[in-house]
Amino acid sequence: MTDAPKKRISDETMEMIRKLDIKEFAENALGEKLKREGTAYMAYRNGGENNPSVAIVPSKHYWKDFTRDDIGGIEVLSYFAYRMWDTVELKGERFTTAVHQVCALAGIPLKYDDGTVIQPTTDRCVGEVVLVEDDGSEHKQSPEVLNDYYRGLLSLMHLTDVHRKHFEEERRIPIETVKIRSYASMSDNPQDRYKLARDVIKKLGKKPEGIPGFYLAQGEYGPYWTMLGREGIIVPFRNLFNQIWGLQLRLDDPDTIVTTGSIRAEKKGDLVELYDYGGQFLWSGKRSQLPVSVSGGSAELIVGNRYRWFSKTKDLKRGVLRGATISMPTPAPYHVAVPSRLLECWEAGEHLAEVYDTETVWLGEGPLKGDIAADFTDQIHLQTASVSAMQSLFEPAMQLGAKTVILAPDADAQTKLENVGKTVINLVEAAREYFTARGVKLIFATWSIEQSKGLDDLLNLGFRPNFLELN
C-alpha cells in the first residue's frame, strides 16, 4: 500500500480514519498491551518506563503522553505518528505514509477522489469509537477544594502498629515526623472505608463530588458515598502552596492471585493456599511457584504496582455511579517535599519561595523518597510518581526561582540501558536544553545500585551521591 501513486485521498477515507477507536487501534493494530485505570487505558511511552504514562480515553476519543505537554491527540493518525516518529506532526510525505499505514493496519479500504480503491490485505480489526456524554462527574476539583477535603480526611485517619513499625524501622523516620507529614493507614475493610467517608462528609458538611478516591456506589438500598482502597499507607502530595492536591496509596501487598474454575486462593505472606468452593484443601506453596494447575482450576500470580493513585472513576458495570480521576482534566500531581521542620510552620496558601530558600532544587521520583531526602539535605525536592514524568518538574522548579537543579532519578533507572534507561537519557537531554537556556546550573546525582536504589536509602546509609555538572 505504501507504493500507491500520489493522489488526493478522499474525504470519505479521512472520515473513516477519524472515527477509528484509538484504544482498539493500539491493541489490535499495533499489538500494545494496555492497562485499565478508571476510564483510561494506560500504555508505555516511547523509550520505555516502569509505570505507563500514556493514557488513551476511548469514551472521550483522545490520548495523551503525560510526560510531554505537546504530545497527544484526538484520532489514530496522531497516535500512529507518535509511535512511528515520536511526534504528532504530520506533513507532506509523512502524512501520506501515515494514512496508508493506518488503513492497512486497521483493515479499512483506502479511497482516492479519482475512484481508485486500495483494499486491505487483512480483515478489519478496529471499530468505530463510541463517545460518551461527559456529565462532569469525572473531573477533579481545584487544588484549594482538594486540600480542604484531603486534610479533613487525614485528620480522621490513624496509623496502624504495622505501618508505624515500617516507618520507624525500615524507613528510619521518627514517629513525630510521620505525624507532621500526615501519613496514614488505609483499611482493607470496605465497611471501615464507608464509615470514614461518612464521617468526613459529616465533618466538612459537603459531599466529596470531584474528589479523587471517593465514589458514589450503588447499594441495595440506594446510592452511598464511600472510598476505594486496599490495605496500605496513604501518602499526601503537596503543591508549591502546601495544598494537598492528591494522595497515593502504598499497598502492603500489591500482587493479585487470579484463579480459574471452582477454586479460591488465600495469601499468607509469601505462601499461597488453594481451596475448592467447599473448603477442601488443594495445594500450598510459595508465590514463586505460581502459576499452578490443580483439580478444578488454576492459579496465577499477577505482580502489581506498589503505588497506586487514590482515584476512582465512574464505572456503571461495577456499580460506581460517580467518581473523579486524579489525571483529569489536569495531569496527575507532582509532590513538593520540604524539610519536616518547615512543614510544621508552612501555612497552606503560602508560596514556598516566600518562606524558604529555593535556590537549589532536586528533581526525583517517589513522594516518600523525597520527604526523607529533604530532611537529610535540608533542601527542596520535587517528586513525581515515576521517572517518566520528571520532565513535568521543570516548570515548577523555575517557579521556585531555582538557580541550581539536581537531577536524582533512582539508580536502577540510571543503569538500565533499555526501557527506563532511555527515559533517563531523554530526561537529561531535555533538562540540559531547558535549564541551560534559562541560566540555571544543572547537576546530575549518581550512585551505585549496589549501594541503594533510591536517594532516600543512600542517605539513610550515610552515603552521598556523586555530582556531575551537565552545563
What is the predicted pLDDT for the residue at 388?
82
Ramachandran category for residue 163: left, alpha or beta (phi over 0 → left; psi -120 to 50 → alpha)? alpha
Q: Which of 65-69, 121-125, 168-172, 438-442 has the lowest mean pLDDT?
A: 65-69
| Model confidence at 82: pLDDT above 80 | yes
**Residue 65 reports pLDDT greater than 80:** yes
Whose cell is 458538611? That residue is 205
Q: What is the mean pLDDT of residues 20-34?
A: 94
Q: How confident is the model at residue 402 (pLDDT cuts 50, 70, 90)?
A: very high
How many Cα atoms are found within 13 Å in the side-chain-facing hemisphere of 209? Answer: 6
Alpha helices (H) in 31-129, listed in sequence order = 76-85, 93-106
Mean pLDDT of 259-263: 90
Given a cut of 60, is residue 136 above it in pLDDT? no
pLDDT the model gives residue 409: 92
pLDDT at 1: 47
CA distance 106 to 100: 10
Structural domains in the chain plus CATH codes: 11-118 (3.90.580.10), 143-252+307-323 (3.90.980.10), 256-302 (no CATH), 335-469 (3.40.50)
Mean per-residue pLDDT, 78-104 = 92
| DSSP H or E stretch at residue 422 | helix 420-437
Task: List the grid coordinates of 237.
Answer: 502530595
23: which 3 cell numbers?
484504544
- Asked if residues 108 and 124 have their Cβ atoms less than 8 Å apart, the reply is yes
Averaged pLDDT, 66-77: 84
pLDDT bucket at 182, cuts 50 / 70 / 90: very high
Condensed to tens digits (0 to 9), the pLDDT of residues 289-344 reads 999 999 989 999 988 889 999 998 777 777 888 888 888 777 889 999 999 999 99
Here the cell at position 298 is 488454576
pLDDT value, residue 328: 75
3-state secondary structure of 43: strand
Among residues 186, 151, 197, 208, the alpha carbon closest in space to that of 322 is found at 208
| Confidence (pLDDT) at 5 | 52
User: By three-state DSSP, how is residue 259 classified?
Assistant: strand
Specify the pLDDT at position 321: 85
Is the pLDDT assigned to residue 404 strictly greater than 90? yes
- pLDDT category of residue 283 using cuts at 50, 70 and 90: very high
Query: pTM value?
Result: 0.70
Q: What is the pLDDT of residues 417-438, one digit of tens each?
A: 555 567 888 899 999 999 999 9
**Span 231-239, mean pLDDT?**
97
Res 380: pLDDT: 98
Per-residue confidence (pLDDT) for residue 281, from 0 to 100 = 94
d(CA 91, CA 397): 35
Closest CA to 342 of 357, 361, 360: 357
Which DSSP helix (H) or strand (E) runs through 415? helix 411-415
DSSP assignments along 333-391, one per residue: PPEEE--HHHHTT--TT--GGGTS--SEEEEEE-HHHHHHHHHHH-SEEEEESSGGGGG
Closest to 213 measured CA to CA, from 197, 198, 224: 197
CA-CA-CA-CA dihedral for 336, 342, 346, 348, to nearest 10: 30
Q: Average pLDDT over the chain, rounded to whole?
A: 90
E strand segments, 220-367: 222-227, 232-238, 244-251, 256-261, 263-268, 271-276, 281-286, 292-294, 297-302, 307-309, 320-323, 335-337, 360-365
Give CA separation, 278 vs 67, 256, 260, 281, 296, in Å. 49, 22, 15, 9, 12
